Amino acid sequence: MATFRDFLRRLGRRKNIDALVQQSATSEMKKILGPVDLVFIGIGCIIGTGIFVLTGVAAKQNAGPGIVLSFIIAAVVSALSAFSYSELACMVPISGSAYSYAVATMGELMGWIVGWDLLLEYLVGASTVAVGWSSYMVAFFKDVFDVTLDTKTTESPIVYSNGNFSIQKDAYINIPAILSVVVITAVLLLGIRESAMVNNVLVVVKVVIILIFIFGAARFVDTKNYKPFVPARVEGKYGVSGVIKGAQRVFFAYIGFDAVSTAAQEAKNPQRDMPIGILVSLFVCTVLYIAVSVVLTGIVPYYAIDEKAPIANALLGFSGTKWMRICISVGAMAGLTSVILILLLSQPRILMTMANDGLLPPVFARLHPRFKTPFYPTLLCGSLCVVLSGFLPVDFLGDMTSVGTLLAFFTVNVGVIVLRYTDPHRKRIFKVPFGQYVFPPLGAIISITLIGFSGADTIYRLLGWLGLGLIIYFCYGFRHSKIGDEDNVEDYYAEQENKNEFSSS
């Protein structure tokens, strides 16, 4: 019995928050990101597939013009979680994001589950965006050069529809998606300064072009396309449940503010700037999402939306819009590129944090001696993303990512509640409005509810993924964990710092 109690105690070991703060302070990662950089990281990640691809997909398959309501629901839920992220991010300025928050509030096992879930969220999310990038590149070549690229090398050979997989005979591999991931991975290996500069330029380009679409296409809006605003439920689609399903589906669009928290160790003043980056980026992007969805469903009937490149192709029926379609394709490629960049920037930093805690092999924690980037996990994540984006379809990948995001949001909201009770006197530069009794519980409940609308197949795949993660945890992480060894914080992290250097061996 004593052995079983010790086993349970080990599963519930919590990370010392002072140790996390010390780890951030002594990190060799370059602290160069200011509040504008963090806001741009959020916008860079939030504005992407959600606005250029999934807006059309969810409108056509789930909510019709009611996709506007889906975005509002998703934004409200995201705002509830964003408050919780902001409170924890300024208390725990470490790159582990929801993983670090979970391990500091709910213990080692829950931390592992969240970290493993984040692997699904970010890696599969980057693959989703790469597939969308490929579709817009095809549209760009068609509009600019009147060249139709061969589907054999620009589309996934696997099709996912209504929960079923099938093989597309005239498609073999998505080469543009693969190339985009390869180039971005190379940029990320060079360093955070270079990555931030590239992202900032891409964000400016895509926001300008989104505004061009909103104001340029508004004159083509036909209010008849808004009727019915919420189409009647047919064969499991549309209706109120379709709006909610649409909210769950586009939740993938709001993954970006979570990505802001993964850059905490590279921020100049994380305690002050992390809440700014999270909340400002969420507000700006929500306004843009709603505006785009209103215009899109107003210029083309929801059932006629092209799912592969909905924003650009919605203008095909209007004369004099070729220049706008070209701009949109360029903006989409720029926007989707920045999303891939931020997602592939975020995931290796979470793996690095988990490795520092002993839950993953030490090689994942090593920094490149010159670039100060997590070299091996960046290379690994880029390679896995190449495989996923080359062979899997966007709608399947998007559903999986949304569920992973919702689970992370649930955990962060619960973490705020737990920490308010277990460590009530710790300094909180930013506090969730109305304390732990309103926003965090609401955020947690709604996140779990939206997971319930994901569909049985998606939930089963999530459970299967988490089950695989538990096997890896008990085979390696449980035996090598250093969580709970931080009683002497300074000595512990002095030892860890010595192990951070990149070694060719």
We report the CATH number of the domain holding residue 393 as 1.20.1740.10
**Structural domain contains residue 257:** yes
Residue 240 has pLDDT above 60, yes or no: yes
**Residue 164 is inside which H or E element, if any?**
strand 164-167
CA distance 295 to 287: 13
- What the block records as the tokens of 108 is 């080692």
Residue-range definition of the domain harbouring residue 259 = 31-226+239-494
Spatial contact of 324 and 315, defined as CB atoms under 8 Å apart: yes
Residue for token pair 């994901």: 454
Among residues 333, 243, 258, which one has the least CA distance to residue 293?
Answer: 243
**Structural domain contains residue 470:** yes
CA distance 247 to 372: 38
pLDDT at 208: 92
Q: Count the residues in the chain.
A: 505
Q: What number of helices (H) and strands (E) belong to the chain?
A: 22, 2
Section 331-349 average pLDDT: 85
Rg (CA), the chain: 22
**Structural domain contains residue 4:** no
pLDDT at 404: 74
| Angle of CA points 460, 466, 467, to nearest 5° | 85
Residue 26 has pLDDT above 80, yes or no: no
pLDDT at 394: 56
Residue 496 has pLDDT above 60, yes or no: no
Among residues 53, 54, 51, which one has the least CA distance to residue 43?
Answer: 51
> To 10 degrees, what angle do helices 175-190 and 375-391 make?
170
- What the block records as the tokens of 155 is 């589309």
Per-residue pLDDT of 77-122, as tens digits, reads 888 888 998 899 888 877 778 888 898 888 899 999 998 888 877 8
193 residue type, one letter: R
Spatial contact of 184 and 341, defined as CB atoms under 8 Å apart: yes
**Residue 77 is inside which H or E element, if any?**
helix 67-91
Per-residue pLDDT of 354-400, as tens digits, reads 998 889 999 888 887 777 778 888 988 888 888 888 877 655 655 66
**Structural domain contains residue 499:** no
**Structural domain contains residue 234:** no
**Per the structure, how many domains does the chain have?**
1
**Structural domain contains residue 389:** yes
**Structural domain contains residue 6:** no
| Angle of CA points 212, 224, 143, to nearest 5° | 40
CA distance 345 to 490: 28
pLDDT at 164: 62
CA distance 368 to 149: 39
**Structural domain contains residue 16:** no
CA distance 20 to 16: 7
pLDDT at 485: 66
Spatial contact of 41 and 264, defined as CB atoms under 8 Å apart: no
Section 310-323 average pLDDT: 86
- What the block records as the tokens of 452 is 């319930």
Among residues 131, 60, 84, 65, which one has the least CA distance to residue 336?
Answer: 131
Spatial contact of 266 and 16, defined as CB atoms under 8 Å apart: no
* Alpha-carbon dihedral angle through residues 369, 370, 376, 377, given to the nearest 10 degrees: 110
